[in-house]
Amino acid sequence: MNDLIPLVNKLQDVFNTIGSDQIDLPQIVVVGSQSSGKSSVLETIVQKDFLPRSAGICTRRPLVLQLVNTHIGNMSPSSASSDSSLNETPDRAEFLHLPNKQFFDFVEVRKEIEAETARVAGQNKAISRTPIHLKIFSKNVLNLTLVDLPGVTKIPVGDQPTDIEKQTRNLILDYILKPNSVILAVSPANVDLANSDSLKLARQVDPEAKRTIGVLTKLDLMDAGTNSLDILSGRAYPLKLGFIGVVNRSQADIQNNKPMAEAFKSETEFFQGHPAYRAIAHRCGTNFLAKTLNTILMNHIRDKLPDIKAKLNSLIGQTHQELQSYGDPTFTGKAHRGSLILQLLTKFASDFVAAIDGTSSEISTKELCGGARIYYIFNNVFGAALESVNPCENLTVQDIRTAIRNSTGPRPSLFVPEIAFDLLVKPQIKLLESPSLRCVELAYEELVKICHSCGGKDLARFPRFHAKLIEVVSDLLRERLGPTSDYVESLISIQRSYINTNHPDFIGGGGAMSALERTSQKKKKEMERTRRLSTVNMVLAGNGADSPSNREENGEKPLTNAMSTLTVQSAERGEREKPSHMTHHGGPNNASISSLNGSPHGPNSGSKDTFLNYFFGGPQQRMDRPILQESPHRPGNVHNVAKEMVMPKTVLDGEPLDFDRKLDHMTDTEEFSNLNEREDMETQLIRSLITSYFNITRKSIQDLVPKAVMHLLVNYSRESVQNRLVATLYKEELFNDLLQEDDNLCAERAKCKAMLDVFKNAFTIINEAM
Ligand SMILES: Nc1nc2c(ncn2[C@@H]2O[C@H](COP(=O)(O)OP(=O)(O)OP(=O)(O)O)[C@@H](O)[C@H]2O)c(=O)[nH]1
């Protein structure tokens, strides 16, 4: 049983070698406010002057103190040569940070503690969390493991930081929070217990007071007539482990170098001679405290050992697993290099393919990744980008009019020419190029991202190999980016190279006209309604009516007039051009006129035969476009209307034409702002034709670009990645370089290996002891 404390000391030693605090080993933690007498208690237990003493704060680093009783043979393995020599060994001390040095002079021990404290915590009054490990071998001590902590301070002194109180409290809490710590709460008897910092802290972490043992110091300094019997007998403040009263050396005793043995004697005399404590003297004093602590610690260890063993078992499992994750260094040897390279390379390639296909085992449930992101790019990003393009983007009235004029050449504009539509729609199709190329880029960027996430933990071990794999796949992707972008660019060029007005979905001239007519009629009706309302208002106001003739005088021509004009022209063209399927008669094409003017045949019957249908794809004319020829039959009225559209008004009116001025105004927007009704109609017509054709092209681009990206970029790289990697990297001369392990990883593996050894060692120690 008495071997249990050395056992924990052994475990502590083992864990100290790797600085691991994963196992919460049973230990006694000494807690108290500054100058409450903590160090004095420890010194009395050890029966040696070995701790720093000064006016201010002395303990500035945790001191883990292992007391080893040499009388019963509890020597450290390093120093124990034979059992017979044990009793002859003088008391000595060893520091963990000075493994090869033994201290026989305890003044030197104190100096070393001071120097080591200053080395880490500095020369001022600051504190540090790094513990000092000290082992004392003596025949006068009982086996114990105690931790002396800095005392709780309230006000910073000297160079102490302003939050010194918080720092100290946190440090103390770190130690006493561990469930396997027994709290030795030191309180000076000459201060009211209600103000005891140590008991307050202990209660925070041990509210049931199960693992707190109280120590009352300075009982000799209590006011005359007062005593702490209530506390010591457990009536004032109940603790399961009880209170023990001690009397340490006073400052004067220390200064006078009062020997420990004498201090012991004085303490015993104090309790035995004190009227209040005489009855409990056998349960007071440092000697009794040391014995009690020894028993408490042993019982505590005995209780906790099965848990510690179980914890060690699981730690061994975890650490073993972690060690495996760093890879086995033996497999990088010459005999295995080739197969290792091939295995990692194949894993990388299959990760890449799996990420694209969405079959990866590490698929995220938090965000879109891999192939799903490519799908998202196609359907959402690219789709939305295409949808946002306005078919008539940057297309002003002026552009349309200029295009119409330019496309008629030196001749006056008679019809809305196909060439103008062609001229105008091509640059609009070009607007689809930029989002399409961006779609290629985005898919490319996604593939690059995918390749960066491939390889997993196995490859983290070989950073150079990983980087090389990424480089090769990135090169492959970059190679494919050019051809894919070129192809997509040519898809747009293909669309622009031939404007297929025969496309079944194209609205055509007839459709556009009908739509326009519907809109204009709607507008007209609205205008009529407004006029009627205003007429009523005027009549009511006693004013003249706004007759239709008046309106025409004011230059307001009904829209249908212009439509009729266009239709009449179309009839005339029909006459002149005589498509083979049309009947050859002298007058205008009545069917067309009637259809545009809302004939009972409806817009879908005769309207297809208007001149616009002819140009922009009326079903009958699409296949057999007639040759233009001058018709000898031109009814006067039609001729005049057409003439009016062809000839500038000034010429008709006989006014002299100022050519220079007209030339200046050719590109003047003002000219376009005063469009006549027919010109307005033409512009609107062109716009709706462009929109219709653009929408057809957009739909087809939206369909073709993702297909091209999948075929030329995604599927290509997916299928060729493995071959490319093997061809580029599976080369004997590269193996050494590729299999260079990461330095950090090697260090981590070594640390992990050491940890595993420690856990295994600790497990064996416990197994042997139990
Ligand atoms: N008379 C008397 N003086 C004591 C007793 N215990 C401690 N002292 C004195 O109180 C002062 C502080 O004691 P320490 O043991 O240094 O107190 P500490 O809690 O370790 O102090 P820090 O480590 O600085 O927090 C010293 O001068 C001791 O001599 C006691 O039981 N009786």
DSSP line for 128-183? -SPPEEEEEEETTS-SEEEEE-PPB-SS--TT--TTHHHHHHHHHHHHHTSTTEEE
pTM of the model: 0.53
Alpha-carbon gap, residue 640 to 651, rounded angstroms: 14
Provide the pLDDT for residue 701: 96
User: Among 34-38, 385-389, 765-769, which is the least confidently predicted range?
Assistant: 765-769
CA of 106 to the centre of ligand 1 (A): 19
Alpha-carbon gap, residue 53 to 560, rounded angstroms: 112
- Which residue has tokens 């043979």? 73
Q: What is the mean pLDDT of residues 122-134?
A: 83
Q: Which amino acid is at 55?
A: A
Which residue's alpha carbon is at the smallest distance from atom 9 of ligand 1?
A: 250
Half-sphere exposure of 544 (CA within 13 A, CB side): 6
- Residue (of 348, 369, 218, 264) closest to 44 by Cα position: 264
Cα–chain center distance at 287: 60
Tokens at 224, concatenated: 């005359």
User: Among 139-148, 224-233, 569-578, which is the least confidently predicted range?
Assistant: 569-578
Our answer on whether the CB atom of 704 is closer than 6 Å to any ligand 1 atom is no
Tokens at 101, concatenated: 């040095």
- Residue (of 235, 250, 246) closest to 277 by Cα position: 246
753-763 CB burial, b ≥16 within 10 A, e <16: eebbebbbbbb
Q: Which atom of ligand 1 is nearest to the CA of 246?
A: 31
Our answer on whether the CB atom of 254 is closer than 6 Å to any ligand 1 atom is yes
CA of 239 to the centre of ligand 1 (A): 23
User: Among 102-111, 125-134, 340-349, which is the least confidently predicted range?
Assistant: 125-134
CB within 8 Å of 205: residues ≥ 6 apart: 173, 176, 177, 183
Q: What is the mean pLDDT of residues 600-605?
A: 36
Provide the pLDDT for residue 365: 60
Q: What is the mean pLDDT of residues 552-579?
A: 38
488 contacts 481 by C-beta, under 8 angstroms: no
pLDDT band at 414 (very low <50, low <70, confident <90, very high): low
**138 forms bridges with which residues in the sheet?**
69
Give 710 or 516, the one with higher predicted confidence.
710
Q: What is the mean pLDDT of residues 323-343?
A: 78
The helix/strand/coil state of 541 is coil
Cβ neighbour number for residue 400 with a 10 Å cutoff: 26
Q: Which atom of ligand 1 is nearest to the CA of 56?
A: 24
Alpha-carbon gap, residue 6 to 212, rounded angstroms: 22
Which residue's alpha carbon is at the smallest distance from atom 2 of ligand 1?
A: 250
Q: What is the mean pLDDT of residues 70-86?
A: 45
Our answer on whether the CB atom of 59 is closer than 6 Å to any ligand 1 atom is yes
Our answer on whether the CB atom of 468 is closer than 6 Å to any ligand 1 atom is no
Q: In what order do the strands lie in the sheet with 27-32?
A: 98-103, 92-95, 132-138, 63-69, 144-148, 27-32, 181-188, 212-217, 243-245
Alpha-carbon gap, residue 232 to 491, rounded angstroms: 96
Q: Which atom of ligand 1 is nearest to the CA of 43?
A: 15
Q: Which atom of ligand 1 is nearest to the CA of 254?
A: 29
Query: pLDDT tens across 32-44, in order?
Result: 988 888 888 888 8
Query: pLDDT tens across 693-734, in order?
Result: 999 999 999 999 999 999 999 999 999 999 999 999 999 888
Residue 543 sits at the vertex; the CA angle it makes with 540 and 549, to the nearest 5 degrees, is 115
pLDDT band at 51 (very low <50, low <70, confident <90, very high): confident
Which residue's alpha carbon is at the smallest distance from atom 21 of ligand 1?
A: 35
Q: What is the mean pLDDT of residues 71-86?
A: 43
Mean per-residue pLDDT of the chain = 77
DSSP letter string, 231-277: HHTTSSS--TT-EEE-----HHHHHTT--HHHHHHHHHHHHHH-TTT
pLDDT band at 244 (very low <50, low <70, confident <90, very high): very high
- Residue (of 308, 284, 349, 398) closest to 11 by Cα position: 308
Query: pLDDT tens across 475-492, in order?
Result: 999 999 999 999 999 999
pLDDT band at 417 (very low <50, low <70, confident <90, very high): low
Alpha-carbon gap, residue 69 to 87, rounded angstroms: 10
Cα–chain center distance at 150: 41
- Using a 10 angstrom Cβ sphere, with 0-12 exposed, 13-18 middle and 19 or more buried, the burial of residue 10 is buried
Evaluated on CA atoms 229, 234, 239, 242, the torsion sign reads positive
72 has a pLDDT exceeding 60: no
- CA trace torsion 650, 652, 656, 662 (10° rounding): 40
Alpha-carbon gap, residue 36 to 54, rounded angstroms: 13
Provide the pLDDT for residue 591: 34
155-169 CB burial, b ≥16 within 10 A, e <16: eeeeebeeebbebbb
Which residue's alpha carbon is at the smallest distance from atom 25 of ligand 1?
A: 34
Give 44 or 562, the one with higher predicted confidence.
44
770 contacts 309 by C-beta, under 8 angstroms: yes
Give 258 or 560, the one with higher predicted confidence.
258
291 has a pLDDT exceeding 80: yes
CA of 80 to the centre of ligand 1 (A): 35
568 has a pLDDT exceeding 60: no
Q: Are strands 92-95 and 98-103 parallel, antiparallel or unpaired?
A: antiparallel
Tokens at 597, concatenated: 């003017």
Our answer on whether the CB atom of 220 is closer than 6 Å to any ligand 1 atom is yes
Q: Which amino acid is at 508?
A: G
Alpha-carbon gap, residue 619 to 610, rounded angstroms: 11
The helix/strand/coil state of 65 is strand
pLDDT band at 27 (very low <50, low <70, confident <90, very high): confident
396 has a pLDDT exceeding 70: yes
Percent of the chain with pLDDT over 90: 27
Q: Which amino acid is at 472?
A: V
Which residue's alpha carbon is at the smallest distance from atom 13 of ligand 1?
A: 37
- Which residue has tokens 């049983």? 1
599 has a pLDDT exceeding 50: no
Alpha-carbon gap, residue 731 to 118, rounded angstroms: 57
**ipTM of the shown complex:** 0.97
559 has a pLDDT exceeding 70: no
- Residue (of 248, 256, 332) closest to 285 by Cα position: 248
Length of the chain: 770
Alpha-carbon gap, residue 240 to 285, rounded angstroms: 19
Tokens at 483, concatenated: 């051809």
Our answer on whether the CB atom of 117 is closer than 6 Å to any ligand 1 atom is no
- Which residue has tokens 């009947």? 583
Residue 166's alpha-carbon distances to 36, 159, 169, 186, 292, in angstroms, are: 18, 15, 5, 19, 32
pLDDT band at 173 (very low <50, low <70, confident <90, very high): very high
Provide the pLDDT for residue 662: 43
Query: pLDDT tens across 646-687, in order?
Result: 233 333 344 444 444 444 444 444 455 556 777 777 788 888
606 has a pLDDT exceeding 50: no
Alpha-carbon gap, residue 688 to 507, rounded angstroms: 8
Query: pLDDT tens across 253-262, in order?
Result: 888 888 888 8
CA of 693 to the centre of ligand 1 (A): 97
Tokens at 544, concatenated: 């003249």
Query: pLDDT tens across 521-545, in order?
Result: 888 888 888 888 888 777 777 654 4
Provide the pLDDT for residue 55: 59
- Using a 10 angstrom Cβ sphere, with 0-12 exposed, 13-18 middle and 19 or more buried, the burial of residue 370 is buried
Provide the pLDDT for residue 610: 39
614 has a pLDDT exceeding 70: no
According to DSSP, residue 210 is labeled S
